Amino acid sequence: MGIALLFMIAVTGIVFAQHAQQSVQHQLPQPPEVMMREDLIEMYAEPSTIIVNNISSSKIAITVYYPEDLPLVGGEPAVTRVDVSTDIGTLIDAENETNRGKSITVYTNESGNAVVIFASTEEGTVNVTARAPLIEYTLEPISVVQNSTELRVKERVEETTYGWRFHIRSGEDYISLPVIPAGNITSKSPDAIFGDDVEVWEWNATTQSWSRPDVMKAGTGYLIRCPEHRIVDIRGARAGTITWKDITENLKPGWNLIGPGDKNVEITDSRYVVVGWDGVDDTWVSLYKGDILKRGYGYWIYKTS
């Protein structure tokens, strides 16, 4: 048998083997399809930028929802287990502080909510991830019900340096400034802070009417209209502590739109009507003595003449 013939037989054998292998591979099953479902978990960190100072901490609010197509409870807040993990720092269960570590398991309440405290003594960008494994069992195809939020732990450069991150929702919301942006007066304009496609409105308590502010300041609440969800970071000086007494002493008759400073404020009397805005459910929420005005949010207060 000639060399050329032997070569042709060898090549034919290789080609046949390759086709046979490809045919077998074609018949093998593919790995299962996996779907990521970030929409079933909401996470908000407050604040999202913290300064290293012994132990710095941030509150992380987690809300879990059942899938829309799940019978009876579709789309409702889920009472379920949530596995939370972080790459640096420590997580602490707000309900049970002995439950702590880089990975912890918490359980949502009847409103689908759980609160975790992040604490750290080291700098860096932190990714906190929450996963709801029990919800995954109800879904097809195989799904991962998971979402994450990013935190920044930064070195304290000087006492007046402070950071704040806004999670601006699409649509209308009410905010206030815990931080006065660094720089000249131009840097404190709504366009410089949030972008020129975002509407910012200020309430004039004297005339009981809306106006567009040139400069944003501490102690004032603002109506904001954003075309899309947006994350806005501000660095500058602390807005300063504003007490409930400070707020009430400056009220005008009628409606006033106010904001706390760089610390939360407790309502200490029942003389006024206080209303906040729930931007998730798009509804008004009445507040009473003992309730807290949270920094970063705007609130309506009504004073009788």
Provide mean pLDDT across the span 224-250. Answer: 90
* Residue 4 scores a pLDDT above 80: no
Q: What is the pLDDT of residues 185-211, one digit of tens each?
A: 778 899 999 999 999 999 999 999 999
The secondary structure element, H or E, covering residue 7 is helix 3-27
| Matching residue, tokens 């200020």 | 202
> What sign results for the dihedral spanned by CA atoms 248, 259, 42, 128?
negative
pTM for this model (two decimals): 0.50
* Residue 49 scores a pLDDT above 70: yes
Cα 136 from Cα 194, distance rounded (Å): 37
* Residue 237 scores a pLDDT above 90: no
Q: What is the pLDDT of residues 124-173, one digit of tens each?
A: 889 999 999 998 877 877 788 999 998 888 765 444 457 888 988 889 99
User: What's the whole-number average pLDDT of the chain?
Assistant: 86
Q: Would you call the peptide bond into 181 cis, given omega within 30 degrees of 0 as the criterion?
A: no
Model pLDDT, residue 20: 52
Cα 229 from Cα 3, distance rounded (Å): 72
Could you tell me the two tokens for 42? 């909401």
Cα 145 from Cα 133, distance rounded (Å): 7
Question: Can you name the residues that pair with 201 across neighbouring β-strands?
Answer: 223
* 107 three-state secondary structure: strand
- CA 103 remoteness from chain centre: 19
Q: Could you give all domains of the chain from N- to C-terminal order, each with its CATH number?
A: 34-155 (2.60.40.10), 162-303 (no CATH)
Residues 66/74, Cβ–Cβ less than 8 Å: yes
End-to-end CA distance of the chain: 115
Share of the chain above pLDDT 90, in %: 53
Alpha helices in 34-116 (DSSP H): none
